[in-house]
Amino acid sequence: MYKRYFFFFFLLFATVAYSQSDTKVKWKYEAVKKTGWQYEILLTATIEKGWHLYSQKQSADAIALPTTIRIGNNPFIQLKGSIKESGKLFDQIDAATRTRARYYADQVVFTQLVELKKPVKTALTGEVEFMVCDDKQCLPPAMVNFSIKLP
């Protein structure tokens, strides 16, 4: 019986925590045609004022969860290079933990160049795992799925 209550409480907490993280960051996904069969994939995170989203690259001593973008396998799409990020990067030592943290406030754009292997209509799918914090607290990590059509 206690297991049921514990499971229900955990499920309720996870749902509330996920919805809180989701409201702090709004995601926009788009594909911009470059040349021929090449597209630039843009994942734009708009971050609520007072909050910040961590960079993909953290120092070895960091305790912050880096933003992780996983792109699903698609036999028609070839990734070109690595995912780049652009925005105003803050690189600071956290006074409480004495660890270095790299993060973005306001907005950050993650960019991935892709190329179609042949001219077909397909979609790029994946997921973004991220954590947001303010000056007093961090919310539990959240995950969002995305799908971007490539015409």
9: enclosing H helix or E strand: helix 2-24
pLDDT for 22 beyond 70: no
Which domain range does residue 139 map to? 2-150
- The pLDDT tens digits of the residues spanning 30-64 come to 999 999 999 999 999 999 999 999 999 998 888 88
Note the pLDDT of residue 12: 39
The arithmetic mean of pLDDT across residues 4-18, rounded, is: 39
The arithmetic mean of pLDDT across residues 66-85, rounded, is: 97
Residue 27 belongs to domain with CATH number: 2.60.40.1250
The arithmetic mean of pLDDT across residues 18-30, rounded, is: 77
Percent pLDDT > 70 in the chain is 85
Note the pLDDT of residue 37: 95
pLDDT for 95 beyond 80: no
Q: What is the pTM of this model?
A: 0.82
The arithmetic mean of pLDDT across residues 6-27, rounded, is: 54
Written as six digits, the tokens of 19 are 């919805």
How many domains, the chain? 1
Return the higher-pLDDT residue of 77 and 5.
Answer: 77
CA distances from 78 to 114, 117, 118, 119, 151 (A): 6, 7, 10, 13, 15
Return the higher-pLDDT residue of 126 and 7.
Answer: 126
Return the higher-pLDDT residue of 36 and 5.
Answer: 36
CB 101 within 8 A of CB 92: yes
